[in-house]
Amino acid sequence: MTPAKYDVLAIGNALFDVLVRTKDDFLVRHGMAKGSMALIDQAQAAAIYADMGTATEISGGSAANTIVGLASFGARTAYVGKIKDDQIGKLYAHDIRAAGVAFDTKPASEGPATGCSYILVTPDGERTMNTYLGAAQDLVPADIDEAQIAAASIVYLEGYLWDPPQAKEAFLKASKIAHGAGRKVALTLSDSFCVDRYRAEFLDLMRSKTVDLIFANESELHALYQTSDFDTALKALGQDVALGVVTRSEKGCAVVEGDSITLVPAASIEQLVDTTGAGDLFAAGFLFGLVRNAGYENAGRLAALAAAEVIQHIGARPQVSLKELAQQHGLPV
């Protein structure tokens, strides 16, 4: 096996976040399920945006947030995602490259605009996302560069990729290349509604060993196994995938490997502002711990620290150096 050029390569829907603080009645009026991600078309996007207040724009996208978090820890990173070569696409490409991430996916010159996620942040800090995939729906297998995938120790994929028609083929192609090169493949389940849409396929990805590591939050895990009993679901996960990591918000996380379970507490915060990116940055910290062979306990602590940073401000990208933050907390970087 040749030495890896990248610690982690992530593939996901490239989305520009349009964030607005709002009250709960906005969600009720628009029939939005609080805390979830709903796919919307261009007309719905226009209608929701027209009714939204003054916004803040920050590059986002689940796997992209994770990879930027990894870069902030000091990992060597690359990202694959589809934007258009429009104004928003240029902002997007700038931000991910400015974070130190290699980003070479050819932008679309025709077709829909760069995708946007319209995110409502309620006073309790919870985020509710409405995603117009735009150019992200045109990620195709040809966007997967074999040499680049083979050069990454871990390929990280988001469950949201199951939504755009050809992205799942790109996902499977990447997984095959990675395993052929002796690399590992990680998947986040992304969202409980996403799990509802693709439950059988996600379980098959795990049981067929197409993925080696699963990230899920509690509600996604419950959705996956259609049970309200956490311990039952966690045990099932341990049997279905080589390594499972389940986040439980302020209750910390559980790492399951076969019959073995490691529990790690959450990091303390001063003020919850916006949960956007919490799971993404958790995954960044955990993957960074794996890359550094820091052990599950330390990986969980790095994960909790990164998640705690991102939920204390608006937007899903870290605002400080996660490497310095980890050092301040005496964690291995």
Residues found near its own copies in the complex (CB under 8 A): 18, 21, 49-50, 52-59, 68, 86-88, 91, 94-95, 98-99, 113, 315, 317, 319
In angstroms, give the least distance from the CB of 96 to its own copies. 8
Residues near 49 by beta carbon (within 8 Å), at least 6 away in sequence: 18, 118
Q: How far is the CB of 141 from its own copies (least distance, A)?
A: 28
**Residue with smaller CB distance to its own copies, 16 or 282:** 16
Nearer to its own copies, 71 or 264 (CB): 71
Determine whether 262 is exposed, middle or buried from the number of CB atoms within 10 Å of its CB (0-12, 13-18, 19+).
middle
Residue 301: partners with Cβ closer than 8 Å, 6 or more residues away = 264, 267, 285, 289, 329, 331
Q: Report the helix count and the strand count for the chain, using DSSP H and E.
A: 12, 14
311 touches 319 (CB < 8 A): no
Nearer to its own copies, 44 or 249 (CB): 44
Measured from the CB atom, the residue of 168 and 317 that comes closer to its own copies is 317
Give residue for tokens 């990805």.
205
Q: Which is nearer to its own copies, 114 or 192 (CB)?
A: 114
Which residue type is seen at 181? A
Q: Hey, what are 107's tokens?
A: 């932008």
- Exposure class string for 96-131: b at 16+ Cβ within 10 A, else e: beebebbbebebbeeebbbbbbbbbbbeebbbbbbb
Do the Cβ atoms of 171 and 161 come closer than 8 Å?
yes
Tell me the CA distances in angstroms from 248 to 197, 233, 267, one per residue in order: 22, 13, 12
Among candidates 176, 193, 206, which has minimal Cα distance to 36? 193
- Which residue lies nearer to its own copies by CB, 259 or 270? 270
Distance of closest approach, residue 11 Cβ to its own copies, in angstroms:
20
β-strands 253-257, 243-247 pairing: antiparallel
Give bridge partners of residue 114 from the DSSP assignment. 134
Q: How far is the CB of 274 from its own copies (least distance, A)?
A: 12
Nearer to its own copies, 94 or 251 (CB): 94
Judged by beta carbon, residue 232 or residue 319, the one nearer its own copies is 319
Q: Give me the least distance between CB of 54 and its own copies, in Å please.
A: 5
Which of 21, 233, 249 lies closest to 119, judged by CA? 21
Q: How far is the CB of 312 from its own copies (least distance, A)?
A: 12
Question: Minimal distance in Å, beta carbon 52 to its own copies?
Answer: 7
| Amino acid sitting at position 70 | L
Nearest distance in Å: CB 69, its own copies: 11
Using alpha carbons, select from 133, 105, 131, 136 the residue that is nearest to residue 117.
131
Residue 319 beta carbon to its own copies: minimum distance, rounded to whole angstroms? 7
Nearest CB to its own copies, comparing residues 44 and 166? 44
